[in-house]
A and B are shown apart, each in its own frame.
Chain A
Amino acid sequence: MLLKGKIALITGASKGIGLAISIEFARQGANLILLSRNAEKLLQISEMLQLEYGVKVDFFVVDLKLEQSIKDFFSYLNSQKISFDILVNNAGIMSDFTLQTLKKDSVEDLFQTNVFSVMYMCHFALRNFLKQRKGVIINIASIIGTNGAAGQSVYSSTKAAIIGFSKSISKELAPLNIRVNCIAPGFINTEMTSKYQGDSLDKITKNIGFRKAGSPENVAESALFLASDLSNYITGQVLGVDGGMII
């Protein structure tokens, strides 16, 4: 088991890629701290993972759009002497609109959820990693952040921001034995992408080398690699998990 004895903190853990990462990490022996907005689902997932894999699972409902909520969450962990080895910033939202229909509220919403939350999570998690003199951060970006896509200018900007942020902090934190990497998924079958059906789905899959959408498990296996010691000399990288997608 590649993560035996490790503790992983995962955001957006109640569905899609976050859930797949939680399951894969538990399967590999990691104890988990799961974050999401959905307490009911977190309870179900934690019970399932504890039963299935015998790992310890704590879960918290945290509003990642608010810096204070994130700060309070880490203060609580600190007060309870709860530490962790791996942070996976997965929570994010997608919203499509053209430049012409761009609205301030949508821009702010996307940046608060996709970018600012990642920055604050990393900022407040640093204290934990510094104490341990080691750590792993995995930020979930997107192929849209590296290549762009029509109708996704703002979403793309948020994911590009995560990549720039991750590359910079990887340089700051490497001397402290803290690794920071990104995963840039392509088109993955999740609730987030379920709106693409019929012709629009065909158009997308035609541009994927493997001619099919990826699964959350494909991303989870890559996250496992980056979280484990198999990648202990890798930092500041963006790992594309896109099946050879061309945008």
Chain B
Amino acid sequence: MESNVEKLYNTFALALNVDVKIVNDNLSYQSIPEWDSISHMVLVSELESVFDVSLDTDDIIDLSSVNKSKLILAKFNIEF
């Protein structure tokens, strides 16, 4: 069964349209051309869908890296 970390990395890869191999905890917003303001909106939508959560605006602003996304999702009792 897919772990939450795998789910998270796959979600980033899908939303940013990149190979999952380049997704790691340190990957941050605008550090690669694919993670721009447009794909960020797609990313938020995918995270909400995959983890069945509803992020508020502060969380969306705060979502600046893969590592940050783990901290935000942890607020919804999602463990990594």
Chain A positions within 8 Å of B, measured between CB atoms, are: 75, 78, 126-127, 130-131, 172, 175-176
Q: Which of B37, B44, B54 contacts A130 (CB under 8 A)? A: B44
B19 within 8 A of A: no
Whether A176 and B41, one on each chain, are in contact in the complex, defined by CB atoms closer than 8 angstroms, is yes
4 shortest interchain CB distances as A-B pairs: A130-B45, A175-B38, A131-B45, A130-B41
B6 within 8 A of A: no
12 pairs, CB–CB < 8 Å, chain A vs chain B: A75-B54, A78-B54, A126-B41, A130-B41, A130-B44, A130-B45, A131-B45, A131-B49, A172-B37, A175-B38, A176-B38, A176-B41
Residues of chain A contacted by B44 (CB below 8 angstroms): 130
Whether A176 and B42, one on each chain, are in contact in the complex, defined by CB atoms closer than 8 angstroms, is yes
> How many residues of B are counted as interface, with CB atoms below 8 angstroms from the partner's CB atoms?
9
Residues of chain B contacted by A172 (CB below 8 angstroms): 37-38
Once bound together, how far apart are the Cα atoms of A176 and B48, in whole Å?
17
Chain B positions within 8 Å of A, measured between CB atoms, are: 37-38, 41-42, 44-45, 48-49, 54
Most chain A Cβ neighbours within 10 Å, of B38, B45, B49: B45
Q: Which of A75, A127, A175 contacts B48 (CB under 8 A)? A: A127
Once bound together, how far apart are the Cα atoms of A126 and B57, in whole Å?
12
B54 to chain A: closest residue by CB? A78
Whether B38 and A127, one on each chain, are in contact in the complex, defined by CB atoms closer than 8 angstroms, is no
Residues of chain B contacted by A176 (CB below 8 angstroms): 38, 41-42
For the A-B complex with A130-B41, A176-B41 known, give 4 more contacts whose Cβ atoms are closer than 8 Å.
A126-B41, A131-B49, A172-B37, A176-B38
Closest CB-CB distance, B18 to chain A, in whole Å? 17
Residues of chain B contacted by A126 (CB below 8 angstroms): 41
Residues of chain B contacted by A131 (CB below 8 angstroms): 45, 49
Once bound together, how far apart are the Cα atoms of A175 and B41, in whole Å?
11
A178 to chain B: closest residue by CB? B41
Once bound together, how far apart are the Cα atoms of A138 and B54, in whole Å?
25
Closest CB-CB distance, A81 to chain B, in whole Å? 12
Once bound together, how far apart are the Cα atoms of A175 and B45, in whole Å?
15
Residues of chain B contacted by A127 (CB below 8 angstroms): 45, 48, 54
Once bound together, how far apart are the Cα atoms of A149 and B44, in whole Å?
42
Residues of chain A contacted by B38 (CB below 8 angstroms): 172, 175-176
Once bound together, how far apart are the Cα atoms of A75 and B38, in whole Å?
23
Closest CB-CB distance, A127 to chain B, in whole Å? 7
Once bound together, how far apart are the Cα atoms of A75 and B49, in whole Å?
14
